[in-house]
């Protein structure tokens, strides 16, 4: 079964680790992702990103929310692009030799204007599930996303993916 077929609605808990181009650790963060179809909610500390399928709202955890149209945010790597398993449109991809416990797929963006060079996805051979993603940016810094848990049967309320300005501090500024 294809990964994209499995992941219709889910909750994912991840650790995000960053490394400089010289290999030094640059930080670690915990992430929580709820996703259904083209909609998602990504939380990291006070920071929140909500995508309702048409618009992306990015709350910086302080006083600013930026709103962009999904097409405008296509320079970035969205959860759908990593988890949906449909890479033909945006990437050249190949299965790399992987003798260990994981399959490794290397994705390179077809559009050189993207803000990253490549993404390597690691799938657990026994579970046939995404285990880790490694993103190499244009400055040779590495961001590694390690999946801690995935709930494929998550029941996600519709309002989870609806932006509601009242949830945020009164003095928050919304930038279009």
Domain map (residue ranges) of the chain: 3-175
Q: Scan for tokens 């290999």, then name that residue.
A: 23
pLDDT tens, N- to C-terminus, the chain (176 residues): 334 445 567 888 999 999 999 999 999 999 999 988 889 999 999 999 999 989 999 999 999 999 998 875 555 677 766 666 567 778 899 999 988 999 999 999 998 888 899 999 999 999 888 899 999 999 999 999 999 998 888 889 999 999 999 999 999 999 98
Q: Rounded to two decimals, what is the model's pTM?
A: 0.79
**Which phi and psi angles does 59 have, rounded to 5°?**
-95, 125
Q: H-helix or E-strand containing 4? A: helix 3-6
Length of the chain: 176
Question: Domain 3-175 adopts which CATH fold?
Answer: outer membrane lipoprotein receptor (LolB), chain A (2.50.20)
User: How big is the CA angle at 138 (ends 45 and 48), to the nearest 5 degrees?
Assistant: 20
Q: Quickly list DSSP for 49-76.
A: EEE-SSEEEEE-SSSEEEEEETTGGGGS
């Amino acid at each position: 079964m294809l990964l994209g077929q499995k992941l219709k609605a889910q909750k994912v808990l991840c650790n995000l680790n960053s490394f400089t181009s010289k290999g030094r650790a640059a930080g670690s963060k915990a992430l929580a992702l709820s996703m259904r179809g083209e909609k998602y909610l990504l939380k990291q500390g006070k920071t929140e990103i909500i995508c309702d399928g048409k618009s992306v709202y990015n709350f910086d955890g302080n006083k600013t929310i930026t709103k962009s149209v999904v097409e405008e945010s296509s320079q970035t790597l969205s959860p759908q692009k990593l988890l949906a398993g449909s890479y033909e449109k945006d990437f050249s991809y190949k299965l790399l030799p992987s003798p260990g416990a994981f399959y490794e797929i290397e994705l390179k963006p077809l559009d050189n204007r993207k803000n990253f060079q490549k993404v390597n996805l690691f799938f657990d051979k026994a579970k046939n599930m995404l285990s880790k993603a490694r993103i190499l940016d244009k400055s040779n810094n590495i961001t590694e996303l390690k999946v801690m848990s995935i709930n494929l049967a998550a029941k996600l309320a519709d309002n989870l993916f609806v932006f509601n300005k009242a949830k945020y501090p009164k003095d928050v500024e919304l930038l279009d």
